[in-house]
Amino acid sequence: MKLTVITVCFNAAKALKKTIKSVASQDFESFEYLIIDGKSTDDTLVVISDNQSVINHWVSEPDAGIYDAMNKGMRLAKGDYILYLNAGDTFYSEQSLSQLFAQATDTAVLIYGDYQVINESYNEIVRAEPLDTPWTGMKFCHQSMALRREWALRFPFSGDYITSDFEQVYEIYQAGAEFCYVPIVVANFMHDGISTKNKLRVRFESLHIVRKHDKSAKSEIAFLKKILNTYAVEAVRTLLPKKTFEQISQYKIRLTNTRKSLS
């Protein structure tokens, strides 16, 4: 079994250094490393050149955005599984990959675990949510999942949404693929991406994606609750100092994780 780790980047030289170092530290031996750069104008190519011994293949050319670049990476991949670890993201430990695949089933299409959110004032481990609940958004992040390459090619990112990663995972879930949860922390996720900054848009986009398959009242109600909650959270965010808001968010994550561990 071979894995392809893909990093997508654009003008992110400093962040890319950290990601490459994390990939190079893995004790898992059966993987290749690809970097897909969007024709950066900073020192990204210098960083890539300085780390040629770690990188199996890289390209630097204009693209149509992050999901176009991620699709390009999956088409170039040669591994049985694909995992995206974009510039600034890192693995949680040197054993992340070896532990993930040691505990996964051989027949799994998508293998996923927990992740750590990296905020400005705190870090917090987030447990993946169970799949037997209504799919009202990503139950984990794409940095903490490995997907079989043939399924990735069958369900490429549409790029129609800022949450096209959720669209891909949801479509694969609806197709009946086998998902395998491994109870380890896989990756560190930087809490400053475009989906993080556009919570309400993500909610409405996710609702649109799910409606293609599930028009039940139960899902509609679940989504409406999520949307109303997001409105409230975003309103509070604008009123409170950033540090205070992050402290509240940290408490909420810990409470949610406690509930998951007890269930």
56/210: higher pLDDT: 56
Residue from 82, 76, 74, 86 nearest 10 by CA: 86
User: pLDDT tens-digit profile of 79-103?
Assistant: 999 999 999 999 999 999 999 999 9
User: pLDDT tens-digit profile of 38-72?
Assistant: 999 999 999 999 999 999 999 999 999 999 999 99
Does 136 have pLDDT greater than 80?
no
Does 228 have pLDDT greater than 90?
no
Going by pLDDT thresholds of 50, 70 and 90, the confidence category of residue 235 is confident
Does 213 have pLDDT greater than 90?
no
Backbone angles phi, psi at 40, to 5 degrees: -65, 150
CB contact set of 195 (below 8 Å; sequence gap of 6+): 162, 163, 202
Going by pLDDT thresholds of 50, 70 and 90, the confidence category of residue 196 is low
Task: For residue 62, give both structure tokens.
Answer: 């204009």
For residues 231-250, give the mean pLDDT.
Answer: 69
pLDDT at position 137 is 75
Look up the pTM and report it.
Answer: 0.85
DSSP 8-class letter at 29: -
How many Cα atoms within 13 Å fall on the side-chain side of residue 97? 27
How many Cα atoms within 13 Å fall on the side-chain side of residue 90? 17
Q: Residue 98 burial (CB < 10 Å; 0-12/13-18/19+)?
A: middle
CATH number of the domain located at residue range(s) 3-191 in this protein: 3.90.550.10
> Poorest-confidence range of 71-75, 89-93, 159-163, 184-188?
159-163
